[in-house]
A and B are shown apart, each in its own frame.
Chain A
Amino acid sequence: MLRCAITLATAAFLCCSGAAATAFELDEIAPGVYAHQGQTALMTAENLGDIANLAVVVGDEAAAVIDTGGSVILGRQFLAALQQRTAKPIRYVINTHAHPDHVFGNGAFVATGATFVGHKNLPRALAARGEFYLSSFRAAMGPALEGVTIVAPSLTVADRLSLDLGGREIILTAWRTAHSDCDLTVLDKKTGTLFAGDLLFLRHVPVVDGSLLGFLAVADALAKIDAVRVVPGHGPRVAPWPKALDDQRAYLTRLTADLRAAIKKGEDVDAAAKTAGQSARDDWRLFDDYNGRNATTGFAELEWEGQ
């Protein structure tokens, strides 16, 4: 019965994959810059892990892919859509950090011969978490995990790296622990387009998997980057820069203030996790999935203040 359902699902996928180029939306948001908008959702077998924004920058000679989506099936759709828009080779696949919705599609790009690029801490994060993610997403993703392997970068960025796509320079910047411990941004200088990865959330409540204070500090540093638009990790595929940072900053600031007040009162982490940040609940999607976690993570960090 289960096998039957899987076969049907596969057949449905195959019958639709011929139309993948139209099903997989990949829009030109600036000359030579393409972006795909992920759903604001958790990864499931039905959405194939299509929950993060993905992008491509095309130069005179080659293209760079920025994140690959939450499954190889999705990554293949992304690759097919991209190959309809350019015949230029993919020189780089850049992962903005280690989370599954950004890297599980890497396997679809291995055969292109592209060089995988990431933060200097990305190999360590993938080594520490990769196997865990493959097993922990088994229940939610099921057959959509087909072919997913952990692909680590061969080119890493400790601070800043310029890559040439032929008449087009992109600047990669590695940040201190913020959303995670391996956040990397990409700036396309030609169009002033910043690819923020999960250092920027819109609509989807921000997720803190590194450092709450680091996230606030890095977002403030990002604001100084000379760009006109941003592709956030989650939310609309493109937004004005740096105004797009405002909502996230407000949420993280409020969460920080609530947690500091709870810690000062002597509350424990369980109690604080239930209340901190709750006044922002109506402003964000997936709030109940992540706010308690952000509060827990932030509490454990802020407790060390005032040493």
Chain B
Amino acid sequence: MRKISFRRSVLLSLALTLASPALAGPASDPWPGLVTDIFQGRAMAGGDGVLTLEAPTRAEDAAIVPMTIRLADPVRVKKATLVIDQNPMPMAAAFAIGAGSGVGFISTRVRVNSYTNVHAVAEGPDGALYAQAKFVKAAGGCSAPAAKNMDEANAHLGQMKYREFKSSEAGRREAQIMIRHPNNSGLQMDQLTHLYIPAHYIDRVEVRQGDALIFSMEGGISLSEDPNFRFSYAPNGAKTISVEAHDNKGNVFKSEWPIGEAS
């Protein structure tokens, strides 16, 4: 169900993007339309006390812009969605938070095409929505939200890396999952170069401790090359962390690591 609505929102977003130059200038605010497309037009309350969005005021590198969603009380959030309003595919990632996972924060990295609002939207167990927004200035110079090293990412497609960190949050552990993937939007047949690069991106990731879901993510091309997730969670005594990632070409990547004794 969730997948269907995500795909639909992607198609709508692409359609909007293609149509937008004729419809509106850069000053137009896409947010009301995104609320309709992604959140079925539902009302949203302010995010204070529920979630916090951390984003840089200026993107240093258009292709790698760190974003963090912090949850004040994970029990009150079943889903957290990150939206880059002005991007060609605004819905960057929707994180479903595992029940009892105790996720305190999730950091990831996104592409930012231009000056944009970024929204983080939390959905409570009762379906209520809470939103927080940050304005991010685009990166300058020759920075572009494009692949830096597509050949390298393709050569190691699906390779993963796991790291653990000492958590500053009481009773939680902190970990990082990295997945090698070009995560690119692809190109239509380019009139100039006659190049065609098909879209190729991670669209679903599930992270578990033992059998219990920590979080799952549905995402698209607004996530950076080599998708990267750093997060905190409440340990349940499981001995392993496992990841299953899917991309839009049907590839499935799986990895599992022992949870360290430290921290």
> Using a CB–CB distance below 8 Å, which chain A residues touch chain B?
42-43, 99-101, 123-130, 132-133, 135-136, 140, 150-152, 177, 180-181, 207, 209-211, 214, 266, 268-270, 273, 289-290, 292-293, 295-297, 300-301, 303-304, 307
Contacts and interface: CB of A to CB of B under 8 A. Distances in A.
A266 B107 CA distance: 14
Nearest to A138: B26
B178 to A, nearest CB: 7
Interface in B142-201: 142-152, 159, 161, 163, 165-166, 178, 180, 187, 190, 192-193, 195, 197
B146 A129 contact: yes
B230 interface: yes
B66 interface: yes
Interface residues of B, number: 43
Given A128-B197, A293-B60, A177 B187 contact: no
B149 A269 contact: no
A130 B230 contact: no
A106 to B, nearest CB: 11
- Residue of B60, B142, B152, B190 with most chain A CB atoms under a 10 A cut-off: B142
B241 interface: no
A142 to B, nearest CB: 14
B149 A181 contact: yes
A213 to B, nearest CB: 11
Nearest to B145: A132
Contacts of A151: 192
Given A207-B141, A210-B148, A304-B178, A297 B61 contact: yes
A292 B148 contact: no
Contacts of A127: 187, 190, 192-193, 195, 197
Interface in B112-154: 113-114, 138-152
A93 to B, nearest CB: 15
B139 A293 contact: yes
Contacts of B178: 303-304
B38 interface: no
B150 to A, nearest CB: 7
B121 to A, nearest CB: 22
A34 B148 CA distance: 32
Given A132-B113, A209-B143, 11 more contacts: A125-B146, A140-B140, A151-B192, A268-B66, A273-B60, A290-B141, A296-B61, A300-B226, A300-B228, A303-B161, A304-B180
